[in-house]
A and B are shown apart, each in its own frame.
Chain A
């Protein structure tokens, strides 16, 4: 509860900050302090020290898991703003406006980690989504940005419609918006009265696939990620996507039994097409930014393994995954922002000119590819273990592994360009401080890769 209230208030506060302060650096500082306050507020509740007393009538349920996810998301946002503050200031008139939107997004995110009711879920999704449409179109003078925003908005509105229809069906079947455990017949293990509820769940499933950009509902992703200003792409592809996938996992871990056997079939179809489309299309990209858009689709394919059923591997794994993936992606986008152009050739010879930057880019890339010693390895490992434990066919795991090897191909193209090809990299001047900030991200990745335990222990306090 603390996080929901605090983030909404901070959002309003940020809106007025641009009236009072003219300096954009000050805006960034206020946002950072606000984020710290948000983290503190959330940790107070996580540790059971103080929770704002609100009677939420069972619409929300605060679990250790959800609150811990909040903490992760807030810390990630803090790191993101800390790294990208100057870049955000370059876009639009007032950085404070964007920070206000960030806080609203976080408000939606904290609802999405704690919903216990389909209406709350819907409100959370909308609070999360609408600021995103604005962020995508933030670069008002850039046609691509405008196009992306419109496209995103139209598609997003459409998926919202499907989402609502799904909720309506479930209401029709169960007579309540509360999340209740599916009515399983203990004798047969089958679900009673399933048709309408199943139809509703499938519609919600489709809509969530759209939100997390899983194939075949991914078509908006490359254009939106490519068109949006790169700083905001970084935010959308990491923190927002992580939130959506967590809500997805939480919802279906409690509801998937209602779909019976169809669930495995549906999920397997989406998972296979996501891995296939994401990885294969990424191979052919010439722009690193678009490659990252497709690779983010491919990464979702791996995250979907958590949905096969609740287990400690699935729960811990999805947390590790969003941490490792987000930190590596924010870092990689952080390097990308400094490039004059986004082609692979632009990275040629980067290792010679900027050895530290190239080394850190390598760490981020290796993590996305899932190589040991980086966080990405354990993320993928936990997912695969969850999959094997849930009892789905090993062939599916082998399929995912094949595509992990494909992903090495396009990730390593970046490494090859930086280290093995001579050339003049098209990069802006990068100040020393920025590199040290990136270094924090690289160290985090290695820390997750060596001692993942440390980042999970909070779940069990």
Chain B
């Protein structure tokens, strides 16, 4: 039941928000609902939760099954943390029709939680799409200047991808022994080698677009830049994880042969993507775009490690799913605070943040270190494991991907240097101390970064069962 309630709380709050007019009240409702969701997520993560299973469409044997294993739990935690953080830090931003905005955000959260909990393929597809629709409206209504065209591109891209996945689902479904959408039946579906390959390709397209893997990434930087920052945070901290989640939940267990047969191909694409995104990030002057490209590079590393198809890589990805989300969230929040107060995202016009506002300067440096995966930060744990796995896979691939660490140091430190150090620029002199909730959120996130960097054992324990299912037959 707790699984059902974590799904229904944001949904009910979203519906209530449709009828709320005052901004203040809307903020309280959104923060309260996302706070309860976080509490429930923590409860599920550390106490476990029984599966929820109800009849849905009996004539085609689709059931409403919610289930939470380590993989789901870690993403529930990430979703749980992200939304209150986003709501609290952006609560003073100027957004017209705030109640509707928050309502759509909570619908998105419902969709995301549903994706991470669904234990039935049709239900999974259902939530997969549901997470997309509110984002389409969020970006198109509240986004930047080119929002309509950019969001539409994003929408068509991902919609087409998910339709391909739908064919894949139908294909596997018709070959299950008991004609059901349950994940267990899907795992035992009797597919010929050719069918497995087709189904693999169909599922992979959807996940590759969502992650995104080079060369299907073209929607992403534009979408990140044009979306309102609160939405960008959701997109890059949580939503891209849907693709990785899909790979681990569906692609790896369902089509093991096709998966290992194509690991080379996908790993190489991912590594190209890593380097490509890193080089572009170095050239960026726009802080938002820089973080966007850095995020693409990090996701690329995760997909490479995942497709290397060994246990250590999967372990690294499981940890990094959470860590990357927290780190990138911290960076976005800081970028948003700077943009809100100084009105610029251009690194050229920044400088002297550390002098003007030491607290924010320190926080920026902290998250920047995490972005480079320095030891003692959370990302170090995950990235170390992932590089280890790539080395086991093919040493030269690990070497190529390893270049990205250097590149990450270049663009991240470059950003820190231009933003935090030097003379206080004209724009930066307008910078005030961020409001208390924002500071509170950032400090909490930084504590999470450091604790999970120094003592990652709870995260390992949390994900042990998923790893066992994936690699011990």
Contact B198 A419 (CB under 8 A): no
Contact A453 B58 (CB under 8 A): yes
Known: A388-B167, A416-B140, A451-B57. Contact between A408 and B156, CB under 8 A?
A: yes
Contact A412 B125 (CB under 8 A): no
CA distance A405 to B130 in the complex (A): 16
- Residues in B whose Cβ lies below 8 Å from that of A158: none
**Complex interface residues of chain A between 386 and 445 (CB less than 8 A to chain B):** 388-389, 394, 397-398, 401-402, 404-405, 408-409, 412, 416, 419-420
B126 at the interface (CB under 8 A from A): yes
Binds B, one of A104-112, A179-187, A214-222, A365-373: A365-373
A263 at the interface (CB under 8 A from B): no
CB distance from A349 to the nearest CB of B (A): 12
Which of the residues B126, B167, B173 comes within 8 Å of A394, measured between beta carbons? B167
Q: Closest B-chain residue to A352, C-beta based?
A: B97
Q: Closest B-chain residue to A406, C-beta based?
A: B156
B170 at the interface (CB under 8 A from A): yes
A240 at the interface (CB under 8 A from B): no
Known: A388-B170, A401-B163, A404-B163. Contact between A371 and B156, CB under 8 A?
A: no
- Residues in A whose Cβ lies below 8 Å from that of B122: 381
A59 at the interface (CB under 8 A from B): no
CB distance from B447 to the nearest CB of A (A): 38
A interface vs B, CB < 8 Å? 312-313, 316, 366, 371-373, 377, 381, 384-385, 388-389, 394, 397-398, 401-402, 404-405, 408-409, 412, 416, 419-420, 451-453, 456-457, 460
Known: A453-B58, A456-B59. Contact between A416 and B148, CB under 8 A?
A: yes
Contact A394 B171 (CB under 8 A): yes
Which of the residues B57, B152, B160 comes within 8 Å of A401, measured between beta carbons? B160
Q: Closest A-chain residue to B132, C-beta based?
A: A371
Contact B140 A419 (CB under 8 A): yes
Which of the residues B125, B156, B198 comes within 8 Å of A405, measured between beta carbons? B156
Interface contacts beyond A313-B60, A371-B129, A402-B160: sample of 12 additional A-B pairs, CB < 8 Å, sorted by A: A384-B166, A385-B170, A389-B174, A401-B164, A401-B166, A405-B163, A409-B156, A419-B141, A420-B140, A453-B56, A453-B58, A457-B59
CA distance A374 to B122 in the complex (A): 14
CB distance from B180 to the nearest CB of A (A): 13
CA distance A432 to B59 in the complex (A): 39
B interface vs A, CB < 8 Å? 56-60, 122, 125-126, 129-130, 133, 137, 140-141, 147-148, 152, 155-156, 159-160, 163-164, 166-167, 170-171, 173-174, 198
CA distance A366 to B136 in the complex (A): 12
Q: Closest A-chain residue to B157, C-beta based?
A: A405
CA distance A430 to B155 in the complex (A): 32
Q: Closest A-chain residue to B168, C-beta based?
A: A394
CA distance A367 to B58 in the complex (A): 22
Contact A373 B59 (CB under 8 A): no
- Residues in B whose Cβ lies below 8 Å from that of A394: 167, 171, 198
Contact A408 B159 (CB under 8 A): yes
- Residues in A whose Cβ lies below 8 Å from that of B166: 381, 384, 401
CA distance A313 to B147 in the complex (A): 40
- Residues in A whose Cβ lies below 8 Å from that of B156: 405, 408-409
CA distance A457 to B60 in the complex (A): 12
Which of the residues A371, A385, A409 comes within 8 Å of B174, measured between beta carbons? A385
CB distance from A453 to the nearest CB of B (A): 5
- Residues in B whose Cβ lies below 8 Å from that of A388: 167, 170-171, 174
- Residues in B whose Cβ lies below 8 Å from that of A389: 174
CA distance A389 to B170 in the complex (A): 9
CB distance from A461 to the nearest CB of B (A): 13
Known: A401-B160, A456-B59. Contact between A412 and B133, CB under 8 A?
A: no
Contact B170 A452 (CB under 8 A): no
Known: A312-B59, A371-B129, A408-B159. Contact between A398 and B174, CB under 8 A?
A: no
- Residues in B whose Cβ lies below 8 Å from that of A398: 164, 167
Contact A372 B164 (CB under 8 A): no
- Residues in B whose Cβ lies below 8 Å from that of A401: 160, 163-164, 166-167
CA distance A388 to B191 in the complex (A): 14
CA distance A325 to B269 in the complex (A): 42
CA distance A457 to B130 in the complex (A): 26
Contact B148 A384 (CB under 8 A): no
- Residues in A whose Cβ lies below 8 Å from that of B126: 372-373
CB distance from B337 to the nearest CB of A (A): 28
Q: Closest A-chain residue to B175, C-beta based?
A: A388
CA distance A112 to B77 in the complex (A): 57
- Residues in A whose Cβ lies below 8 Å from that of B125: 372
- Residues in A whose Cβ lies below 8 Å from that of B155: 408, 412
Contact B141 A371 (CB under 8 A): no
- Residues in A whose Cβ lies below 8 Å from that of B148: 416, 420
Contact B130 A373 (CB under 8 A): yes
Q: Closest A-chain residue to B171, C-beta based?
A: A388
In the complex, 7 of the A-B residue pairs with CB atoms within 8 angstroms, ordered by the A residue number, are A312-B59, A372-B125, A381-B122, A394-B171, A401-B164, A402-B160, A457-B59
Which of the residues B129, B152, B164 comes within 8 Å of A412, measured between beta carbons? B152
CA distance A93 to B173 in the complex (A): 56
- Residues in B whose Cβ lies below 8 Å from that of A381: 122, 166, 170
Contact B130 A372 (CB under 8 A): yes
Known: A371-B129, A381-B166, A419-B141. Contact between A452 and B57, CB under 8 A?
A: yes
Which of the residues B137, B167, B173 comes within 8 Å of A397, measured between beta carbons? B167
Known: A401-B160, A401-B163, A401-B164. Contact between A372 and B152, CB under 8 A?
A: no
Known: A384-B167, A388-B170. Contact between A366 and B133, CB under 8 A?
A: yes
CA distance A460 to B173 in the complex (A): 23
Contact B59 A316 (CB under 8 A): yes
CA distance A389 to B172 in the complex (A): 11
- Residues in B whose Cβ lies below 8 Å from that of A451: 56-57
Q: Closest B-chain residue to A384, C-beta based?
A: B170
CA distance A397 to B198 in the complex (A): 13
CA distance A381 to B166 in the complex (A): 8
CB distance from A413 to the nearest CB of B (A): 10
- Residues in B whose Cβ lies below 8 Å from that of A412: 152, 155
CA distance A194 to B56 in the complex (A): 45
Q: Closest B-chain residue to A398, C-beta based?
A: B167
CA distance A419 to B147 in the complex (A): 12
CB distance from A164 to the nearest CB of B (A): 39
Q: Closest A-chain residue to B57, C-beta based?
A: A453
CA distance A381 to B56 in the complex (A): 15
- Residues in A whose Cβ lies below 8 Å from that of B170: 381, 384-385, 388, 397
Contact A420 B141 (CB under 8 A): yes
Q: When A and B form their complex, which 3 residue pairs have the shortest distance between CB atoms, in order from nearest?
A: A372-B129, A401-B163, A405-B160
- Residues in A whose Cβ lies below 8 Å from that of B58: 453
- Residues in A whose Cβ lies below 8 Å from that of B171: 388, 394
- Residues in B whose Cβ lies below 8 Å from that of A371: 129, 133
CA distance A385 to B175 in the complex (A): 12
Known: A372-B126, A412-B152. Contact between A419 and B167, CB under 8 A?
A: no
- Residues in B whose Cβ lies below 8 Å from that of A312: 59
CA distance A460 to B171 in the complex (A): 26
Q: Closest B-chain residue to A460, C-beta based?
A: B59
- Residues in A whose Cβ lies below 8 Å from that of B160: 401-402, 405
Q: Closest B-chain residue to A366, C-beta based?
A: B133
CA distance A388 to B170 in the complex (A): 7
CA distance A460 to B60 in the complex (A): 13
Contact B141 A453 (CB under 8 A): no
CA distance A452 to B57 in the complex (A): 7
CA distance A377 to B155 in the complex (A): 17
Q: Closest A-chain residue to B149, C-beta based?
A: A416
CA distance A182 to B140 in the complex (A): 55
- Residues in B whose Cβ lies below 8 Å from that of A409: 156
CB distance from B53 to the nearest CB of A (A): 16
- Residues in A whose Cβ lies below 8 Å from that of B140: 416, 419-420
CA distance A372 to B107 in the complex (A): 14
Interface centre among B122, B133, B147 (most CB of A within 10 A): B133
